[in-house]
A and B are shown apart, each in its own frame.
Chain A
């Protein structure tokens, strides 16, 4: 069969590129075809004007100390509702305990996270909060 020259070259070029793709996959032993791409996405804050933090404390007579049982957040934007959150109570750089919440409920601009394990109130001098999702 005689094919016109110039179109034939163009077709060959296309087949050659397709073949190159196929050859690359073949060297990995039959991986299914896949793609690689990238895109940009916005990572935005759900609250931009700050959040106030307070603690729920109670006296534990057995331990004979005040303990922090929950961390309470106020001034929270409703956009943070239903997001995941993680709170860590700290003593300096020492993490006294981290509690994760799969979904927070922001009601009247506030939410609370009950700590998985209460910690000595006297030891707490800081807290870190992450909201994501």
Chain B
């Protein structure tokens, strides 16, 4: 091949190379990640059995007795019963009179968690709590109670007999959420999401409590104490 022919060929290849160079700048793409997952299944949140936040006025006056829960779509069709004392609603809060007063609503289960917000229990001689396994008129039940200024208690009430089964020191603020849970023979009490008491029911205690499927509120002392936001669910911890 003559040198001139070679020069011509080089020129021609150079022109081609210019065009090819555009494609070469895309070389070496960075590897990327793309990954997708799908998972079926519930959220794991406990099932709400009944609830009431007392945000709506009572159907008749301010009395709690015979009042239906205010949000049936989420809280069911239960109706409140009072078993001792006078329970009244004012501004979304519930108050009671008479020592060892209880108001309850049927949750339909002995294995249950119930919690409520209790205000102004952070002082001496102030006792109030949340009841489960309530039998209704015979007033047999368990209570997870705040005993101000700094104690949580597990009480077993059998009519007029009150037994403090267990207690623990806790921090009680102006507002505190108390939860009591029974799951089989195990009962727990928590305050503001922190486990305070764990108790295993004796066979005698289980027998005493048999048949109680109501949940409710318990007031013993402390005129400034108020209740709101009760909810009962399938057993949940703590």
Contacts and interface: CB of A to CB of B under 8 A. Distances in A.
A128 B32 contact: no
Contact of B33 (A14, A122, A132): A132
A26 B158 CA distance: 98
A125 B40 contact: yes
Interface centre among A6, A47, A64 (most CB of B within 10 A): A64
Contacts of B74: 63-65
Contacts of B42: 121, 124-125
A45 B35 contact: yes
A53 B74 CA distance: 26
Interface in B65-113: 71, 74-75
Given A18-B15, A36-B22, A46-B33, A6 B8 contact: yes
Contacts of B231: 59, 61, 64
B7 A44 contact: no
B45 A122 contact: yes
A10 B25 CA distance: 27
Contacts of A65: 48, 74
A133 interface: yes
A51 B39 CA distance: 10
A94 interface: no
Q: Is the interface of A mostly helix, strand, loop or mixed?
A: mixed
Contact of A44 (B33, B228, B229): B33
Contacts of A79: 33
A17 B15 CA distance: 8
Interface residues of A, number: 58
A43 B34 contact: yes
B174 interface: no
Given A10-B9, A55-B43, A39 B26 contact: yes
A6 B74 CA distance: 92
Interface in B47-65: 47-48, 51-53, 55
B26 A64 contact: no
B32 A132 contact: yes
A4 B4 contact: yes
A39 B26 CA distance: 7
Given A11-B8, A42-B31, A80-B33, 11 more contacts: A9-B8, A17-B15, A37-B25, A41-B32, A45-B33, A45-B35, A50-B37, A61-B53, A61-B229, A132-B34, A133-B33
